Amino acid sequence: MPEKRYLMTPGPTPVPPQVLAAMAEPMIHHRAADFRKHYGECLARLKQVARTESDVLLFTASGTGAFESAVVNLCAPGERVVAITAGSFGDRWVKLAQAFGADVVPIRYAWGETPNPDDLRAKLAEIGGAPVAFVVQSETSTGVVSDVEAFAKVARAAGTTLVVDAVSSLGAVPLEMDAWGVDVVVSGSQKALMTPPGLGLVAVSRNAFEHAARVKQPRFYWDWEKTRAAQAKVDAPFTPAVSLVIGMNVALGLILEEGLENAFARHVKLGRACRAGIKAMGLELFSPDEDRSAVVTAVKSPAGIDSGELVKVLRDRYGVTIAGGQGDLKGKIFRVGHIGWFDLFDITTALTAIEIALVELGADVVRGAAVGAAVTAFQAA
Amino acid sequence: MPEKRYLMTPGPTPVPPQVLAAMAEPMIHHRAADFRKHYGECLARLKQVARTESDVLLFTASGTGAFESAVVNLCAPGERVVAITAGSFGDRWVKLAQAFGADVVPIRYAWGETPNPDDLRAKLAEIGGAPVAFVVQSETSTGVVSDVEAFAKVARAAGTTLVVDAVSSLGAVPLEMDAWGVDVVVSGSQKALMTPPGLGLVAVSRNAFEHAARVKQPRFYWDWEKTRAAQAKVDAPFTPAVSLVIGMNVALGLILEEGLENAFARHVKLGRACRAGIKAMGLELFSPDEDRSAVVTAVKSPAGIDSGELVKVLRDRYGVTIAGGQGDLKGKIFRVGHIGWFDLFDITTALTAIEIALVELGADVVRGAAVGAAVTAFQAA
């Protein structure tokens, strides 16, 4: 029998067949009317998903590229940036901003801790403010989801432009860009937006556009104003990734058909189910045991088991792909993604496979309890 | 009947069904063994297509992004760059380098002229040399193909690192990176490489890597060394466009199966056929009537006919997409692309449709002669 494969990493995530089918249509020209229909619709749907009236700029790039656009549009060399980091992606943004000459003041937490908005308030007061601050909404390396609404409140009060990394969270957990007064939201196609990787997106508030207009930093491909002006004419400054745009438009249609609130509620239930199953197996969670942890469930590897071994056994013997730990957490945790096109049966499959593999590796786990606990947690009001 | 569509622009170009089918496979993780197989094979095949032993770096980006990587890796602010421009893309690279603070010395030609390597030699002598020079191999806006071998000879003699824009030409016309001593070749997935847009690639010689190591210019996403180091481990520094890489690997396999020399010869014959048909219709060529014009055929619009109207009629009434003129050539020329997945019947279809549409628009064209002339030219030794 051809092997069945199960993709349960925190990204890229599974892509619905409707999206894959749309991407398999014959190529069309990016300046012809038939593409502009997809493109215009996609840009409008992105605004709905980001809950903003502002422009959402599309870049042919990974999420890191979209984040780089925020840095080169907002950070002048030598200017201060506060970067909140509690994991791999937070650390990446520190390095990225430093590469462009920013004077980065990091607020560092141990990987797995949840950043506290009070720490941003105190740091901004201590250093006399900063034009820009970065925060990660969903730290994919740890499963921690930050309280972006509270961070936005602190940033707004301090006159700081807040950039939110929502790469793995946009469409999975609430992010009310306009209502919360968030200035910049960065995301990518390959997580909750259920599209293959290759599109980076940046939602930019009017305030952030004005901020960018004052910042002198060389930019061309990432220039927000150039992209905004082109998009205003339903065009792109450079040949866009036609098939990915067409695919993402279909995916966004599916998300909006489900309804964003329903999608958020579904992710909460998926997270609950996954955590309940993990605990029923007798394992210890690494990511917080709370409803906000709806994107990635991180789990401590049981004593004596290298999580890298678990990932390998799951993939090679059972066709199930989950993720190991990054950085210092390598070998110590494993991560199950449930972002985007996931339902209860994906969670029960992941739990079943993890249990089988851990038993094979000689771990001391409770057998036969995880799936029942997951179903119960999923069905609870 | 569902409308049949014919994509005959100079990019994006038609994508073979095998490539589309590969891209429609379920998503896989970019760090798992099954993706690395595609990725490693794709990187190796790219070297074969660029005719180099050096690394070909892959970026999730449009061709312009890949070109930006050449600028930020090679051009220090204030340093001199000679940019040869005879069309829209040459002009873009002037602006791009200026955006990053380069002291750009342009060698400008009228759009449609063919750049002369002697002019580069004279300019370099006049200004006392320059660390970097840019040349466009196939200027998509005019159909002109430059003699890159001769430019490389001049650049090498002057100790200048030559960057070649081969976005619309790599895989269509000869480019012997190592044999000709070209330092940097920039290309994209969506032209002769028969893949949807979204991947930019840069072949970098050892000399160019050493040059880049000396250049201080902020870079992160576009950093060559970071990308080279990751690719050496069959990895990517940031999530790559998984489906596009898988698709391009299939497309590169098809190209290498045909054989690069056969692909070049086919493009020469396609160009001959297209020009013969255009002339038989009584129209005047804008691109040079020579074998090197194998990528795009540019044609002067007949008296009294706006080429934009022709493009519109072809697209809206006949499902045939060609391109109009850019910049000052808007309305004055039209362009037929024959890059990548094209055969004789695509050319005869394009000619037939152009003839029908021009007659409808009231142009004075010779009727019924174009296809015969094209076939004869294609079949001639």
B240/A63 Cβ within 8 A: no
pLDDT tens, position by position, A104-140 = 999 999 999 999 999 999 999 999 999 999 999 999 9
Residue of A nearest to B69 (CA): A221
Residue B112 and residue B138 in one domain: yes
**Contact indicator for B163, B183 with CB cutoff of 8 Å:** yes
- pLDDT for residue B154: 98
List all residues 6 or more positions away from B126 whose beta carbon is below 8 Å from its beta carbon.
none
At A127, the amino acid letter reads I
Q: Please state, in angstroms and rounded to a whole number, the distance separating the CA atoms of residues B360 and B340.
A: 30
List all residues 6 or more positions away from B113 whose beta carbon is below 8 Å from its beta carbon.
B86, B144
- pLDDT for residue A381: 76
What the block records as the tokens of B215 is: 């250049």
* B244 contacts on A by Cβ (under 8 Å): 196, 198, 241, 243-244
User: Collapsing DSSP states into helix, strand and coil, what is residue B303?
Assistant: coil
- Minimal Cα–Cα distance from A140 to chain B, Å? 13
Reported pTM: 0.97
Pairing of strands A320-321, A144-145: unpaired
Which residues 56-95 on chain A approach chain B with CB closer than 8 angstroms? Answer: 60-65, 68, 71, 77, 95
Q: For each of chain B's 381 residues, which pLDDT tens digit applies?
A: 888 999 999 999 999 999 999 999 999 999 989 999 999 999 999 999 999 999 999 999 999 999 999 999 999 999 999 999 999 999 999 999 999 999 999 999 999 999 999 999 999 999 999 999 999 999 999 999 999 999 999 999 999 999 999 999 999 999 999 999 999 999 999 999 999 999 999 999 999 999 999 999 999 999 999 999 999 999 999 999 999 999 999 999 999 999 999 999 999 999 999 999 999 999 999 999 999 999 999 999 999 999 999 999 999 999 999 999 999 999 999 999 999 999 999 999 999 999 999 999 999 999 999 999 999 999 997
A315/B32 Cβ within 8 A: yes
Q: Which residue, among A30, A39, A238, would best test binding to B if mutated, counting the most B CBs under 10 Å from its CB?
A: A238
Within a domain: residue B3?
no
B243/A198 Cβ within 8 A: yes
**Contact indicator for A184, A163 with CB cutoff of 8 Å:** yes
Q: Which residue, among A15, A37, A60, A217, would best test binding to B if mutated, counting the most B CBs under 10 Å from its CB?
A: A60
Query: The tokens 């004055």 sit on which residue?
Result: B332
Of A33, A95, A221, the CB nearest to B64: A221
Report the length, in residues, of chain A: 381
Residue B265 and residue B249 in one domain: no
CATH code at position B282: 3.90.1150.10
Within a domain: residue A10?
no
Residue of A nearest to B9 (CA): A29
* Other CB atoms within 10 A of residue B214 CB: 9
Residue B282 and residue B301 in one domain: yes
Within a domain: residue A6?
no
The 3-class secondary structure across B58-88, one letter per residue, is EEECCHHHHHHHHHHHHCCCCCEEEEEECCH
List all residues 6 or more positions away from B210 whose beta carbon is below 8 Å from its beta carbon.
none
User: Collapsing DSSP states into helix, strand and coil, what is residue A183?
Assistant: coil
Q: Which residue, among B5, B25, B31, B60, would best test binding to A if mutated, counting the most A CBs under 10 Å from its CB?
A: B60
Report the length, in residues, of chain B: 381
Domain that holds residue A356: 260-379
Residue A108 and residue A228 in one domain: yes
Residue of A nearest to B92 (CA): A220
Residue A130 and residue A214 in one domain: yes
* B62 contacts on A by Cβ (under 8 Å): 60, 221, 238-241
Q: Please state, in angstroms and rounded to a whole number, the distance separating the CA atoms of residues A349 and B115.
A: 62
- pLDDT for residue B15: 98
Residue A216 and residue A310 in one domain: no
Peptide bond into B240 cis (omega under 30): no
Within a domain: residue A4?
no
B21/A27 Cβ within 8 A: no
- pLDDT for residue A32: 87
Peptide bond into B12 cis (omega under 30): yes
Looking at A241, A257, A273, the residue that finishes a domain is A257
Of B21, B27, B239, the CB nearest to A15: B27
Residue B247 and residue B367 in one domain: no
Q: Please state, in angstroms and rounded to a whole number, the distance separating the CA atoms of residues B212 and B231.
A: 17
Residue A246 and residue A267 in one domain: no
User: Collapsing DSSP states into helix, strand and coil, what is residue B347?
Assistant: helix
Within a domain: residue B12?
no
List all residues 6 or more positions away from A199 whose beta carbon is below 8 Å from its beta carbon.
A58, A59, A60, A61, A188, A189, A241, A244, A245, A248
Residue B308 contacts A, CB cutoff 8 Å:
no
DSSP sequence for A192-243: TT-S-S-EEEEEE-HHHHHHHHH-----STT-HHHHHHHHHTT--SS---HH
B324 φ/ψ sector (left φ>0, alpha ψ -120 to 50, else beta): beta
Q: Please state, in angstroms and rounded to a whole number, the distance separating the CA atoms of residues B237 and B35.
A: 15
Which residues 177-196 on chain A approach chain B with CB closer than 8 angstroms? Answer: 188, 190, 196
* B240 contacts on A by Cβ (under 8 Å): 62, 197
List all residues 6 or more positions away from B203 whose beta carbon is below 8 Å from its beta carbon.
B46, B47, B50, B52, B54, B55, B56, B57, B177, B184, B185, B187
Within a domain: residue B373?
yes
- Minimal Cα–Cα distance from A103 to chain B, Å? 14
Which residues 213-232 on chain A approach chain B with CB closer than 8 angstroms? Answer: 218-221
* A197 contacts on B by Cβ (under 8 Å): 30, 60, 239-242
Q: Residue B39: in which H helix or E strand, if any?
A: helix B33-50
Within a domain: residue A40?
yes
* B188 contacts on A by Cβ (under 8 Å): 239
- pLDDT for residue A3: 85
Q: Please state, in angstroms and rounded to a whole number, the distance separating the CA atoms of residues A243 and B14.
A: 12
At A130, the amino acid letter reads A
DSSP state of A4: P
Q: Residue B266: in which H helix or E strand, if any?
A: helix B260-280
Residue A78 and residue A100 in one domain: yes
Residue B156 and residue B71 in one domain: yes
List all residues 6 or more positions away from A329 whose beta carbon is below 8 Å from its beta carbon.
A111, A112, A141, A142, A286
B24/A23 Cβ within 8 A: yes
Cα end-to-end span (Å), chain B? 39
The complex scores an ipTM of 0.96
List all residues 6 or more positions away from A108 whose beta carbon is below 8 Å from its beta carbon.
A85, A86
* Mean pLDDT, each 10-residue run in order, chain A (381 residues): 91 97 96 94 98 98 98 98 97 98 98 98 98 98 98 98 98 98 98 98 98 97 98 97 98 98 98 98 98 97 97 96 96 98 98 98 97 97 76
Number of domains in chain B: 2
List all residues 6 or more positions away from B115 whose beta carbon is below 8 Å from its beta carbon.
B84, B86, B107, B109, B135, B136, B144, B146, B151
**Contact indicator for B300, B283 with CB cutoff of 8 Å:** yes
Looking at A227, A257, A287, the residue that finishes a domain is A257
| H-type alpha helices, chain A | 17-23, 33-50, 63-74, 88-99, 117-127, 148-158, 177-180, 206-214, 224-232, 242-258, 260-280, 307-318, 344-360, 370-379
**Contact indicator for A271, A290 with CB cutoff of 8 Å:** no
Rounded to a whole number of angstroms, the CA Rg of chain A reads 21
Looking at A210, A227, A257, the residue that finishes a domain is A257
Cα end-to-end span (Å), chain A? 39
Residue A291 and residue A250 in one domain: no
Q: Which of A96, A50, A54, A46 is nearest to A75 (CA)?
A: A96
* Other CB atoms within 10 A of residue A369 CB: 17
Residue B182 and residue B277 in one domain: no
* B7 contacts on A by Cβ (under 8 Å): 26-29
A95/B30 Cβ within 8 A: no
Q: Residue B138: in which H helix or E strand, if any?
A: strand B138-139
Residue A150 contacts B, CB cutoff 8 Å:
no
Burial of residue A89 (CB within 10 Å: 0-12, 13-18, 19+) is buried
Residue A11 contacts B, CB cutoff 8 Å:
yes
The angle formed by the CA atoms of residues A104, A184 and A127, to the nearest 5 degrees, is 30
What the block records as the tokens of A273 is: 């189910």
Of A14, A221, A242, the CB nearest to B12: A242
- pLDDT for residue A1: 80
* B68 contacts on A by Cβ (under 8 Å): 220-221
Within a domain: residue A12?
no
The residues that bridge with B170 in the sheet, in sequence order, are B173
List all residues 6 or more positions away from A295 whose beta carbon is below 8 Å from its beta carbon.
A10, A138, A140, A143, A145, A168, A169, A172, A173, A192, A267, A271, A337, A338, A339
CATH code at position A148: 3.40.640.10
B244/A241 Cβ within 8 A: yes
User: Collapsing DSSP states into helix, strand and coil, what is residue B128?
Assistant: coil
C-alpha atoms less than 13 angstroms from C-alpha of A351 in its C-beta half-sphere? 32
- Minimal Cα–Cα distance from A85 to chain B, Å? 18
At A204, the amino acid letter reads V
Going from the C-alpha of A214 to that of each of A68, A83, A127, A209, A265, the distances in angstroms are: 17, 21, 22, 9, 40
Going from the C-alpha of A257 to that of each of A114, A192, A204, A251, A261, the distances in angstroms are: 32, 14, 25, 10, 11
B218/A99 Cβ within 8 A: yes
